[in-house]
Structure 1
């Protein structure tokens, strides 16, 4: 994550976005501890009935 966030800053990106499986609580805590905010849900019906959560870190 450090590499991706530093790369984004170096190239003047406005934010970093990602998604993670909603049932993966460990990932939620990790991203939120780094300052990412949850934006909403993404559904991939062929993959799972549970959504994926979209997160963003504004740089």
Structure 2
């Protein structure tokens, strides 16, 4: 997911609609309809840990 899109999408509450979001792919309006909590798959967990370490 593109960083600008992800930041806005995860800051919205259920039922909220965003302002225009500009990304490298164009302009977007985001509406959050629901949230689903899932267990993180091991390969994604490892990638996130590596990214956090690299940024540290």
- Structure with the bigger RCO (C-alpha within 8 Å, sep 6+) is 1
| TM more than 0.5 | no
Query: Which of the two has greater strand per residue?
Result: 1
Q: Give the alignment's TM-score, normalised by structure 1.
A: 0.29
Query: Which of the two has greater helix per residue?
Result: 2
Which structure is larger by alpha-carbon Rg, 1 or 2?
Answer: 2
Q: Give the alignment's TM-score, normalised by structure 2.
A: 0.30
